[in-house]
């Protein structure tokens, strides 16, 4: 029993939303791009922002956290928020995080004091409550209408000071597709203006596959404002490293046949790697970890994925939403579904189910990869739905 407990304590794998994996693999190119941005910023050369898009479970949040750490470690001023979809909350979070970053920055030449003076001066202007402090209460709608002006003034003033010290402001935004058009449009407009004024302000955002379309709809110049990066499944070689490197570092590597099976069942998704790696490690008392431990633990890994990725999303949808998702799953679990075929399976017209589709998109459960098509945002969601449905294949109104 003690050996088993010790084995679990030493387990390097841990699935979790946004948790840093023991080994970040397959993202070297993305790290290089931001490293180049930082180098250019130090030389007072301009660059574009970056947008990362992909399905859930591919490691976008983990990548943002890593990139922020890298930028902050090289004396860039960094702030990170997760969009809530509420304009007031998002503005308040941006103001607060930029202010907090300015208080923490460690640079020579009095930059910290100059940034503090900038913020104090802006706060003292007759805007009403500025919103930089976490304790500031939300005021009238007038405050909301002033937020774009306050934010532009803040960013212009801060980046003017940062440029003197060969630094820049990097704003990292997760779940960017959730952000309302205001402040989304304002942020893009500010980055556009700062570029015209040769001031180093960059948005580095992450979101679902529909994010590039959301940005383009908000501002026509979005295509030229960002470098777009699709974050997808890892290659077999990278997935193998994701399993084997931390396992070997902790003294219990996988056998070749065990590793091949793990690569197969994880499908190259970083979240799946953590779930299957954790289950196989805990299931094996041998060293190296054999194939039998992997196959024995696969049901446990799937249960962890069900709890961590699927169940809550399935349960929080309405009965019509669950029927729509079930129809998609029956059509196919891998490829996008035709909205016309979904409607046909539900015995309705596409117009009758359009509201349900839109609600599912807003919930982040599906997205539209092209006109007339819908797809799951969570890999494996279709298989989960087929497993979760009653044996008669019906989706009941009750939970």
Do 70 and 218 lie in one domain? The reply is: yes
Structure tokens at 305: 């994925």
Mean pLDDT of 377-381: 94
Reduced to 3 states, what is the DSSP secondary structure of residue 203? Answer: strand
In the DSSP assignment, the letter for residue 336 is P
Same-domain pairing of 287 and 243:
yes
Residue 393 lies in a domain: no
Q: Are both 140 and 264 inside the same structural domain?
A: no
What is the Cα–Cα distance from 360 to 356, expressed in whole angstroms?
6
Length reported for the chain: 399
Say if residue 392's pLDDT is above 50: no
Tell me, yes or no, whether 225 and 241 share the same domain.
Answer: no
**One domain for residues 216 and 303:** no
**pTM score:** 0.88
Q: What is the mean pLDDT of residues 306-318?
A: 91
What whole-number distance in Å separates Cα of residue 67 and Cα of residue 229? 14
* Domain assignment present for 362: yes
CB 24 within 8 A of CB 291: no
pLDDT of residue 365 exceeding 90, the answer is yes
d(CA 184, CA 196): 19
pLDDT tens-digit series, residues 174-190? 999 999 999 999 999 99
Domain residues for the domain of 352 are: 318-388
Residue 100, domain CATH: 3.40.50.300
- Per-residue pLDDT tens over the stretch 216-270: 999 999 999 999 999 999 999 999 999 999 999 999 999 999 999 999 999 999 9
The verdict on 147 and 226 lying in the same domain is: yes
Instruction: Give per-residue pLDDT as tens, 61-109.
Output: 999 999 999 999 999 999 999 999 999 999 999 999 998 888 877 654 5
**171 with 121, same domain?**
yes
The pLDDT value given to residue 234: 96
Among 230, 247, 262, give the residue marking a domain's end.
Answer: 230
- 143 & 223 share domain: yes
Peptide linkage before 288 cis (omega within 30 of 0): yes
Distance CA 41, CA 44 (A): 5
- Examine the fold and report which residue of 172, 198, 230 is the final residue of a domain before the chain moves on: 230
Q: Are residues 259 and 122 in the same domain?
A: no
- Number of structural domains (the chain) is 3
> Helix (H, G, I), strand (E, B), or coil: what is residue 228?
strand
Same-domain status, 329 and 194: no
Same domain, yes or no: 170 and 62: yes
Do 117 and 261 reside in the same domain of the chain?
no
């Amino acid at each position: 029993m003690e050996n088993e407990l010790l084995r679990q304590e030493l387990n390097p794998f841990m699935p979790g939303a946004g948790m840093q994996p023991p080994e970040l693999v397959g993202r070297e190119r993305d790290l290089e791009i931001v490293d180049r941005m930082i180098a250019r910023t130090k030389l007072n050369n301009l660059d574009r922002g970056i947008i990362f898009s992909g399905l859930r479970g591919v490691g976008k949040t983990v990548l943002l956290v890593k990139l922020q750490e890298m930028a902050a470690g090289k004396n860039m001023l960094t702030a990170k928020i997760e969009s809530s979809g509420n304009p007031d909350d998002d503005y308040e979070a941006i103001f607060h995080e930029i202010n907090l970053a300015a208080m923490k920055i460690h640079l020579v030449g009095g930059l910290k004091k100059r940034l503090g003076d900038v913020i104090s001066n802006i706060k003292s202007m007759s805007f009403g409550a500025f919103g930089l402090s976490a304790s500031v209460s939300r005021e009238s709608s007038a405050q909301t209408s002033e937020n774009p002006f306050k934010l532009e003034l803040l960013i212009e003033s801060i980046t003017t000071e940062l440029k003197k010290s060969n630094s820049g402001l990097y704003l990292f935004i997760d779940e960017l597709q959730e952000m309302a058009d205001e402040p989304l449009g304002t942020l893009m407009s500010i980055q556009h203006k700062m570029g015209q004024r040769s001031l180093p302000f960059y948005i580095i955002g992450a979101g679902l596959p529909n994010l590039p379309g959301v940005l383009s709809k908000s501002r026509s110049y979005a295509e030229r404002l960002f470098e777009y990066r699709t974050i997808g499944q890892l290659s077999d070689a990278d997935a193998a490293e994701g399993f084997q490197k931390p396992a070997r570092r902790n003294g219990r590597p996988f056998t070749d046949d065990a590793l091949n099976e793990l690569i197969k069942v994880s499908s190259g998704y970083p979240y799946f790697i953590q779930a299957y790696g954790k289950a196989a490690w805990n299931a094996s008392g041998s060293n190296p970890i054999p194939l039998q431990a992997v196959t024995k633990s696969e049901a446990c890994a799937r249960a962890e994925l069900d709890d961590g990725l699927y169940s809550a999303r399935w349960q929080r949808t309405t009965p019509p939403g669950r029927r729509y998702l079930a129809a998609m799953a029956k059509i196919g679990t891998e490829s996008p579904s035709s909205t016309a075929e979904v409607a046909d399976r539900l015995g309705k017209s596409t117009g009758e189910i359009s509201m349900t589709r839109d609600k599912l998109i807003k919930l982040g459960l599906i997205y539209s990869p092209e006109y007339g098509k819908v797809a799951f945002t969570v890999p494996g969601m279709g298989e989960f739905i087929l497993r979760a449905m009653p044996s008669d294949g019906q989706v009941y109104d009750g939970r």
